[in-house]
Structure 1
Amino acid sequence: MRIATYNVEWFTNLFDDEGRLLHDQRWSGRLNVKRGEQLDALGIVFTALDADAVMVIEAPDDNRRRSGVIALQNFAVEYGLRARKALIGFSNDTQQEITLLYDPDVFEARHDPLSHPDAPRFDAAFEIDLDVDADLDLVQWSKPPNEVALRTKAGHELRLIGVHAKSKAPHGARNIHEQMRIAIENRRKQLAQCLWLRRRIDHHLAQGDNLIVLGDFNDGPGLDEYEKLFGRSSIEIVIGEGDQPRLFDPHARAALTQKLGAVPTTSRFRMGGDDNYLCALLDYVMVSPELLDHSPRWRIWHPFDNPVCYGTPELREALLTASDHFPVTIDLNL
């Protein structure tokens, strides 16, 4: 069984309001990429993944005028994908949904949001003192995580939580002081979101659930200087700290333990000014301890770092054209 997470940059721009594919020569949301080019590249990538389920991050927009589910299902039909049924969680107003695309011949799936006294539903608000002033702040997700209950045809049950955590980038800053203030504010909110998420994880682990937490966390150990201010990254919170039961992701572990030298990366962004690229580890597939008994095998589908991707020119170029993130997969013997 293969489960993937894949952040597709501006996927929503590739469909009209009826969910039809815009396979033309107009520009997509990606720099110097036409809509038809991005669609064909995505078709190649999704076909190569051949995943039983893909948690699509930045999935097509879903609102009263548009159906992200119809858009994704039309995409799956157009490119002949096994994973052809879409399941959205709580829709949001950012034009970037979190939607599971899965093979209905392998899984039964339902959106199953939970709530506990110390961890409300992800479309609600979470009370926490963000700035240590003894006053509680209300934190909300701009993109509420997608909680999915999966059941295989053989009767195995899995819980998936698809995540797109808040970006720490100081968008809108007009000077260095605003940049610092907004970056610190965003870091506080992101850590609060991940504390909220960790409380949900604790409930699942206490019940012995087979849990996979996957998606784009916009964060990783040592990724920016503000981590020193707060003492930890959001990934460390989500994986578990101290005597908490741990989730496991080998790429996160490598980043946490590797003080010098190369670490895995899952994204490649064009930088302004000198037009260089920044590579970062942002996307993760974290599993509960029980799933380690099912021979898990992780892969980052990186066009340069993975030998199969690099050695397959059509796939390599498709990965570079399709998005600024690369898929991450886990194979499990279930």
Structure 2
Amino acid sequence: MSDQTPADRLRLASYNVEWFNALFDDRGRLLEDREYSARYKITRGDQLAALGIVFTALDADGVMIIEAPDTNGRRSTVTALERFAAQYGLRARQAIIGYVSETEQEIAFLYDPDKLSVRHDPQGEPAPSRGAPGAPRFDSQLRLDINGDGVEDLVRFSKPPLELVITTNAGRELRLIGVHAKSKAPHGAGDDAAFKRISIDNRRKQLAECLWLRARIDRQLEAGDSLIVLGDFNDGPGLDEYEKLFGLSGIEIVLGQGDQIRLHEPHAAMALSQTNPLAPSTARFWLQPQKRYFEALLDFIMVSPDLAATKPIWRIWHPLDDPAVLEVRELADALLSASDHFPVTLDLAL
């Protein structure tokens, strides 16, 4: 299925590709073989083929890829993604990254150079070794009292957000911030007490990252930027019981509170509504103890008020909920094989 956008529209996507890095060798060559990928009982060749189908169907002008292939002394995110795009004939075929992460999961942007020019444009001042309050550069350290005990902690992004300026052929400039926030999963918990302690610590870190991000958003909105914040926030309204302990979800912080200029995101608004029982989801995980799948709303594309006023179209490419996807069995199957997250797209009339 190719759902092409009209020439006067811009389509952007956010897509967390589970262990994309495991599908390439150190030279960025695709591992299209019968060895198992990091996804359960799915081969590397099958996962790559599924991703080729999904990216082709998205037909996006730009995709913010979360968990993109690694960059280190041996590997290159850009090389891997551009070879992937060439293999599957994608028009979004040029890649860019920002600050390299401490993990094997980068944040990258794959885009159509015939439609967009793109540059990495990090904001904020580098913080000294003792950190800085407010909104220092994302590869620095934030000084913030996370625990409410009057003692400032140092916060560092394990995956620094990717700040881009994109310019369309018509000269319209947009600012993008790609995000992969701290996971709240209590990895390493050996008993109930450790589970609770690690969960609370991870929640604090995730909220601290969202506060840092919101401080940057405030500055960009006050400057009058057309802003899009997109990615995997590892959070959603009402997702866990620890949200009550802290009062707000990270998503609510990033969207804005009080007299802050608000970002707009309809799926988040649905989840936040006390009267709307509908619960959209962008991710699907297997829970071994319960032997069933759990769905969550983790991936968002948030836009500034000026862009919201143009009446953009949001879409979650959910293989079990989207009727247009369900009509194309090959695409629905590919979405289930490609990742544990599903893409979110935004169509803008500029």
* Structure 2 match to 1:203: 219
Fraction of identical pairs, as percent: 62
1:259 CA displacement: 5.0
Q: Structure 2 counterpart of 1:100, which letter?
A: F
* Structure 1 match to 2:117: 108
Q: Structure 2 counterpart of 1:283, which letter?
A: D
* Structure 2 match to 1:93: 102
* Structure 2 match to 1:13: 22
1:290 CA displacement: 0.5
SS of aligned partner of 2:309: helix
**1:264 maps to 2:280:** yes
1:124-139 superposed matches below 5 A: 124-139=140-155
Normalised to the residue count of structure 2, the TM-score between the two structures is 0.94
- 1:292 corresponds, among 308, 319, 323, to 308
* Structure 2 match to 1:304: 320
- 2:68 corresponds, among 59, 83, 102, to 59
* Structure 2 match to 1:119: 135
1:153 CA displacement: 1.3
**1:188 maps to 2:204:** yes
SS of aligned partner of 2:102: coil
Q: Structure 2 counterpart of 1:187, which letter?
A: R
Q: Structure 2 counterpart of 1:165, which letter?
A: A
* Structure 1 match to 2:268: 252
1:155-170 superposed matches below 5 A: 155-170=171-186
1:254 CA displacement: 0.3
1:93 CA displacement: 2.3
- 2:254 corresponds, among 230, 233, 238, to 238
| Equivalent-residue separation in structure 2 for 1:273 and 1:31 (angstroms) | 16
**1:31 maps to 2:40:** yes
Q: Which moved more, 1:107-116 or 1:82-91?
A: 107-116
SS of aligned partner of 1:144: coil
| Equivalent-residue separation in structure 2 for 1:12 and 1:118 (angstroms) | 33
Q: Structure 1 counterpart of 2:277, which letter?
A: G
| Equivalent-residue separation in structure 1 for 2:208 and 2:345 (angstroms) | 27
1:135 CA displacement: 1.2
| Equivalent-residue separation in structure 2 for 1:160 and 1:211 (angstroms) | 6
| Equivalent-residue separation in structure 1 for 2:306 and 2:122 (angstroms) | 22
| Equivalent-residue separation in structure 2 for 1:63 and 1:289 (angstroms) | 38
Unaligned runs of 5+ residues in structure 1 are none
Do the aligned partners of 2:270 and 2:278 also contact (CA within 8 Å) in 1?
A: no
Q: Structure 1 counterpart of 2:168, which letter?
A: T
**1:174 maps to 2:190:** yes
| Equivalent-residue separation in structure 1 for 2:308 and 2:290 (angstroms) | 43
Unaligned runs of 5+ residues in structure 2 are 1-9, 126-132
1:260 CA displacement: 5.8
RMSD after superposition:
0.9
**1:82 maps to 2:91:** yes
* Structure 2 match to 1:144: 160
Normalised to the residue count of structure 1, the TM-score between the two structures is 0.98
| Equivalent-residue separation in structure 1 for 2:307 and 2:191 (angstroms) | 47
Query: Which segments of structure 1 move beyond 2 Å, counting only runs of 4 or more?
Result: 258-262
- What does the per-residue CA deviation read over 1:106-136, in whole Å, with 9 as the maximum and x for residues that have no partner? 1110111110572011110000001122111
